[in-house]
Structure 1
């Protein structure tokens, strides 16, 4: 822990400006990302603010027995002491905090943490208060030039496009209920109960899922889902196990295995539709089969670029961060977890991933939220410092391009996507995404990059739902991916929405 003293003398104020305060500022560094600040304002400065406040009040003060503004000053001071003291306290705090921010040798990333009501303005003596504030860690910008990097290369074959087309059509196909036993790929309408030692922890309302090997939740995964539900029929109840993630919100349940009881409400089987002109217009206003295939190929290409960027980013960050393991304030990590999820979702949307894949990846992030958030914060601090050094920032054109990509994948008007992002406060997440990508591109351009063919991996046979096994269901406020499983009637209703 380190301590530093800062003296803030009153410089000469310009005409019409308030004279700055004389301050004594002591700063402790209990952690790399936390500062403890003690501010002392001399009694003479407190008296100056009190005098100025009464100078403004006396000419207008209304005191019983006197005309407005005609009461003696001492009587005004006595009658309005409490009101003026609170006003002066507020002004002193606001002005001194502004000066601390301007003069301090740290970059705050949160608002000062103090209890306003507990701070008292003394009748005599200096005015002293203290607060904690989260800051960016201080470190020397690492050498980011001439790194040696490996970029995975993937070829988008016609077979890959055809497979992706079938996947999209399958998600949008009309499912028909069947009395046949459930088989891999079927759509199941399920309810579920989750139990620990026979006690119900939570229940899941009707949720439509695909019968695959695994079923993931926001805070756990059912590894034997496919085995348990294979051959099930409408009305059947099947038992399985759900393992809670090691970073679940409830510490007492982390890593535990719960009993799950899945009840099958309906088994449905899909038939892939034909790519007729009317169907192409219905699913995305495509003019031709060729245009639809080109859209799918473009989405796959963006996914390849995303995976390449992530692989390069991982190598770059490992080179730049090294052994930097700054201790991060728990409150900062908790607050940032939601923002990091929002940012990742935006990245996945603009990179062409379908809704099923986004849900699966988001659930993985939620199950490892603290570890991933801490890693992302460290990455952000390093990349942001490089961005500041090199004057890299997001432009209006960058925002527009990102929003257009999200709108295209979501099949929504650009204007509506922008409005939703602004309303949900996610423009900052979008800005960080843009800036960090630009820095990664800049570092990659200055690096020695060799391409390495990427072997085609096996499909990850997992379906995901946004449900907390230990609590309430979670949903995502980001526009959903294009070609989701909606009926023509639902799509027509969506078009009528403002």
Structure 2
């Protein structure tokens, strides 16, 4: 440790600390002397041979640069030593915005604030009571899914007669949107493809398209809800100038053996396809059942385990959830111009805090149970995730390794093992219908 360095710690809250650090003046002088000696060996100054430049000249020419480097070294080294001394691992550390100026006659003093994981113990987590209906898949469910697959494999053809738009039609249109008499940024599109009645654009807008004909222009007015995802437009009335270019309708394929074969996956008959659909529905319903059981377990644990969640972890979860939502909006073709991300983040705070609590509780149960994750389990995790995402395991492994997120992935697997233990020991659970396909995140 830096000789005679003084370290004091202040508890701001159960999860927040403030660290006061003072490096003695002799250490400051020693660092400066060492920096100038190193500089003297390599500095090139006109009129002086290498290694012969007087310190007074070096100070006049390079003082700011040297003091900046020494300040950074003092901060880094003293902070590392202080954290080792207090034996705390910060979750987030806020460095001082402005460090004190170096003074050879005075000590180097500064403070930092940081967050730590809360101290708590999870009790009564064995034998929790949970309930969920058993998985059942009827012939009607299979038939409904078969019809959905038929719809997905339909092709579009121009309408055979010059008729008005009806629900289920696909239209090609232009639109320009205004609010309060002003054009909306990103609120215009040409040759936009839309399924009328899908409610993927706006339910009210799509309803008002019904009855329009090819080549027709009209102004459509819609009232956006107060909780609209874009706060700039929330609660406002929007006017859209619309022009219809084309109207198409679906042509559905016949549900026979030939249709089943066209889908691949070694289907030979319609019956093969129906059996596959049934198994897929069973797997999905099992995932939903397991998710319901997990939520019940976590709700009980969160209710009975009191601790303060570090703000940094809540913010992390808020940003992760928002990123997921924005990605989903973009995949649906929704323009995100003008959205207020901070307002959206604030709306997500309660959900984010619950997720953060759940992660901390599962991590603590894993500690209490001595749960570990070995390399073979990490590799299996890569393969299972790759299977769910339709990717190659090598790609998944490379992603986590190249982004330095292997420990994060390992942590999630450890939490999953803790959750599996809770489910196995809970009252009211039954074995998984298909364990390999029933994994899902918190």
* TM-score calculated relative to the size of structure 1: 0.66
Distance (whole Å) between structure 2 residues aligned to residue 147 and residue 42 of structure 1: 56
One of 312, 315, 321 as aligned partner of 1:340: 321
Residue 308 of structure 1 aligns with which residue?
A: 289
Provide the aligned C-alpha RMSD in A: 4.3
**Is 2:136 the partner of 1:155?**
yes
CA-CA distance at 1:241 after TM superposition: 2.7
Contact residue 294 and residue 419 of structure 2 kept, 8 A: yes
Q: Are residues 1:27 and 2:7 paired?
A: no
Structure 1 pair 144/168, CA: closer, same or farther in 2 (3 Å)? same
* Cα distance in 2 between the residues matched to 1:32 and 1:187: 58
SS in 2 for 1:149: coil
Match of 2:238 among 259, 266, 280: 259
Are 1:201 and 2:184 an aligned pair? yes
Mapped to 2, the partners of 1:270 and 1:425 lie a distance apart of: 47
**Cα 1:306–1:113, aligned 2, differ >3 Å: closer, same or farther?**
farther
Query: Could you say if the C-alpha distance between residues 173 and 149 of structure 1 is closer, same or farther in structure 2, counting changes exceeding 3 Å?
Result: same
Q: Distance in 1 between matches of 2:376 and 2:211?
A: 53
Distance 1:75 1:207, change over 3 A: same
Q: 2:70 maps to which residue? A: 88
Corresponding residue number in structure 1 for 2:423: 444
Q: Work out which of the residue numbers 137, 148, 160 in structure 2 matches 1:167.
A: 148
State the distance in 1 between where 2:25 and 2:53 align. Answer: 27
Name which of 346, 356, 360 aligns with 1:377: 356
Q: Is the alpha carbon distance of 1:445 and 1:272 closer, same or farther for their aligned partners in structure 2, counting shifts above 3 Å?
A: same
Residue 343 of structure 1 contacts residue 433 of structure 1 at CA under 8 Å; is this kept in 2? no
**Distance between the aligned counterparts of 1:155 and 1:320, measured in 2?**
29
What SS does the aligned partner of 2:8 have? strand
> 3-state SS of the aligned residue for 1:153?
coil
Contact 1:194 1:258 (C-alpha < 8 Å) held by counterparts = no
Count of residue pairs brought into register by the alignment: 408
Instruction: Give a deviation string over 1:284-319, Cα, whole Å, max 9, x none.
Output: 654545665555445433422332232122222221
Q: Offset at 1:383? A: 2.0
User: Which residue number corresponds to residue 270 of structure 1?
Assistant: 250
Distance 1:180 1:418, change over 3 A: farther
Q: CA deviation at 1:126?
A: 1.8
Structure 2 matches for 1:24-423, cutoff 5 A?
24-29=7-12, 31=13, 33-72=15-54, 76=58, 80-104=62-86, 106-115=88-97, 119-178=100-159, 179-189=162-172, 192-202=175-185, 203=187, 205=189, 207-212=192-197, 214-215=199-200, 222=202, 224=204, 227-234=207-214, 235=216, 237=218, 238-245=220-227, 248=229, 250=231, 256-259=235-238, 261=240, 263=242, 265-274=245-254, 286=266, 288-289=268-269, 292-293=273-274, 295-322=276-303, 324=306, 326=308, 329=311, 333-340=314-321, 369-392=348-371, 396-398=375-377, 400-401=379-380, 403-404=382-383, 407-408=386-387, 411-416=390-395
Greater CA radius of gyration, 1 or 2? 2
Give ranges in structure 2 of 5+ residues lacking alignment.
Answer: 333-343, 431-442
Moved more, 69-78 or 82-91: 69-78
In 2, the alpha carbon distance for the partners of 1:430 and 1:144 equals 24
- Corresponding position of 2:338: none
Report the CA distance shift for 1:32/1:257 in structure 2 as closer, same or farther (over 3 A): farther
Q: Report the alpha carbon displacement of residue 402 of structure 1 after superposing the two structures with TM.
A: 5.2
CA distance in structure 2 between the aligned counterparts of 1:366 and 1:171, rounded to whole angstroms? 35
8 Å CA contact 1:407–1:413 kept in 2: the answer is yes
5+ residue gaps in structure 1?
Answer: 1-9, 11-18, 217-221, 349-354, 357-364, 452-498
Residue 96 of structure 1 deviates from its aligned partner by: 2.4
Task: After superposing the two structures, state which structure 1 stretch, 91-100 or 68-77, moved more.
Answer: 68-77
Q: In the aligned structure 2, how far is the partner of 1:244 from the partner of 1:79?
A: 62
State the 1:336 CA deviation: 3.4
| Equivalent-residue separation in structure 2 for 1:434 and 1:185 (angstroms) | 44
